Structure formats: C-alpha cells, structure tokens
Amino acid sequence: MNNATPMIILRGPPGAGKSTFANNLRGTENAFIFETDNFFVDSIDKRTYHFNHQLLGIAHSWNQGEVIRACRDCPDVPVIVANTFRQKFELKPYFDIAQVFGRKIYVFTLHTKHPNVHNVPDEKVEKMRLGMHPFRMDAWLIEGYPVVAAKDVYSDEEAADLAQILHVKFFQR
C-alpha cells in the first residue's frame, strides 16, 4: 500500500464549487470522486435529483461505504470526497476511514459562490454558509489523524490554481 495516497476532503455549502474543484483536480486521471448527493441522483437517467431529507442518514452511510470500498480495493488511487461537512462530527467517519487505510488527509474549504445545481433555496444556502465551523487542523492532529494540509479557498481563480497544483502533486509523481 502506498501510504502517501491522498484522501482529499472538499467542504462548503451548496454552490461553493466542490464538484467543479473535484473534477478539475482529477482531470483525466484515475481518481474516485464521492458525494453524498449522488445517492439522490436517478439511477436510470443519471441527471434527475430526488432529494429526500428522511433518507439523508442512509445516504451518508452509503457514501461512506463507497469510500471504504475504494480505499480497500484501490489503495493507490486518490479519493476525493465532496460534501458540505459543516461540523466536525460529519468529517470524523471519513477521517477514520483514511486512518484505517493509511491515507493522508487534505482538507479544502471552499467559500466561493455559484448557483447550486440542486436548487437549494438561497436562504438555506446562506444558513448553511453561516453554520460552517472553521476547520482546525491542530485539533485533528492532537487526536492522531493524518491531516497533512488544510486551506480555505476564497476565489475561483485560487480554486483553479490550487486544483492544478494538486493535480501535479497527486498524479504526476
């Protein structure tokens, strides 16, 4: 197993650009992108989104299971997880998975604003934005998690530059 294989966590409210960042980072390389929202995408037409708040806990468990399978079956392939991750307890299952499979954790919090693709009302997006707890790398390091880097990203230009830098770091080694 390659202990340097990353798990990249992308945080931010709906419309922050998490999916765009993930796809720009991956480019044409072999990497997994996981989003809990994919649980709600129609399995036949792959476009229609059917959010059901009552299934959100199940959706998170499903996404975590997908991440576990990717880490177990493809130990040298980077994993990118893009979710809202507003609070510490939402990150913990993924950090536990990274620790079990020897992944290094990189956390990026996106603060950019775009129209969100799931039509979440603006007032709900703003409430989620205001409810984002800051990521404290030191708190996770004290608990023994392999967090290598954390960064807040405030502009599309910064996000694009960072995705390009990380693409070189993770895929052209």
Residues 79-122 have pLDDT tens digits of 999 999 999 999 999 999 999 999 999 999 999 988 888 888 88
Is the Cβ–Cβ distance between 170 and 6 less than 8 Å? yes
Question: Looking at residue 1, what is its pLDDT?
Answer: 37
**Residue pLDDT, tens place only, 131-172:** 999 999 999 998 999 999 999 999 999 999 999 999 888 887
Residues 6+ apart with CB under 8 A from 49: 37, 40, 41, 42, 117, 118
Domain ranges of the chain: 6-171
Residues 6+ apart with CB under 8 A from 113: 15, 16
pTM of the model: 0.92
H or E segment to which residue 68 belongs: helix 56-73
CATH code of domain 6-171: 3.40.50.300
